């Protein structure tokens, strides 16, 4: 990457927004794993491993994973946020590997949100 100028900042912004936004031909699902120290300490890495496994098993190439920091509510961790194209995102709480698998099949593959694990919807 060459050194950037100020004009490049907005170019990068536009390009990244384009690349990472959910579209019919690109990614259709975005999964955010909230992996700060707090998330990892409560078992978030195992949840993340289960998620990766499930994605591989499904053979889907249109799922984008983002590893981010703490979502804010430490007592509800591990958290994962899932957004399907054109829908509200849902943030899940108190996860473990099995719940993650159930959510993957329910929400991501079949569009049925397992409400019992959901904490909130995000527009």
Partner 1 sequence: MSEEKAKTEENQEEQEKEEKKEKPIPYMEEVPFFKDQEYIVLSNKGIDPESIEDYIANDGYVGAAKAILEMTDVEIIEEMKKSGLRGRGGAGFPTGMKWDFARQSVSDKKYALCNADEGDPGAFMDRSVLEGDPHAVLEGMIIAAKAIGSNEGYIYCRAEYPLAIKRLNIAISAAKEYGLLGQNILGTDFSFELSIYKGAGAFVCGEETALMHSIEGKRGMPRPRPPFPAHQGLWKKPSVLNNVETYANVSRIIRKGGDWYAGYGTDDTKGTKVFALTGTVNNIGLVEVPMGTTLRTIIFDIGGGIPNKRKFKGVQLGGPSGGCVPAQFLDTPVDFANVAKVGAIMGSGGMIVMDERTCMVDMARFFMDFIQDESCGKCTPCREGTKRMLEILERITQGEGKHGDIELLEELSEIIKDGALCGLGQTGPNPVLSTISRFRDEYEAHIYDKQCPSKTCPALLEFEVDPIKCKKCGLCAKGCPVDAVSWKKKEVAFIDKEKCIKCMTCISNCKFDAIF
Q: Rank residues 58 and 68 by Cβ distance to partner 1 and give the closer one.
A: 68
| 3-class state of residue 77 by DSSP | coil
Binding span for partner 1 by CB under 8 A among 2-10, 45-53, 54-62, 101-109: 2-10
Coil, strand or helix at 2: coil
Residue 80 interacting with partner 1 (CB under 8 A)? no
Handedness of CA 18, 72, 84, 122 (dihedral sign): negative
Q: For residue 16, with 0-12 CB atoms within 10 Å meaning exposed, 13-18 middle and 19 or more buried, which class applies?
A: exposed
* Number of residues lying near partner 1 (CB under 8 A): 43
Does 86 bind partner 1 (CB under 8 A)? Our answer is no
* 32 part of the interface to partner 1, by CB under 8 A: yes
Return the residues of window 59-78 that contact partner 1 according to CB under 8 A: 66-76
The first and second tokens of residue 88, run together, are: 């509200």
**Number of Cβ within a 10 Å radius of residue 4:** 10
Q: Which residues bind partner 1 (CB under 8 A)?
A: 1-6, 9, 12-13, 15-17, 20, 32, 34, 36-38, 40, 66-76, 81, 88, 90-91, 113, 115-116, 118-123
């Amino acid at each position: 990457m060459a050194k950037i100028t100020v004009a490049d900042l907005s170019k990068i912004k536009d390009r990244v927004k384009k690349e990472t936004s959910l579209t019919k031909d690109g990614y259709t699902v975005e999964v955010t794993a909230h992996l700060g120290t707090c998330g990892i300490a409560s078992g978030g890495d195992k949840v993340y491993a289960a998620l990766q496994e499930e994605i591989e098993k499904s053979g889907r190439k249109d799922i984008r994973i983002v590893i981010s920091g703490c979502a804010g509510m430490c007592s509800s961790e591990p958290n994962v946020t899932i957004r399907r194209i054109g829908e509200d995102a849902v943030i899940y709480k108190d996860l473990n590997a099995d719940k993650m698998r159930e959510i993957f099949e329910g929400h991501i593959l079949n569009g049925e949100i397992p409400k019992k694990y959901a904490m909130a919807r995000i527009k």
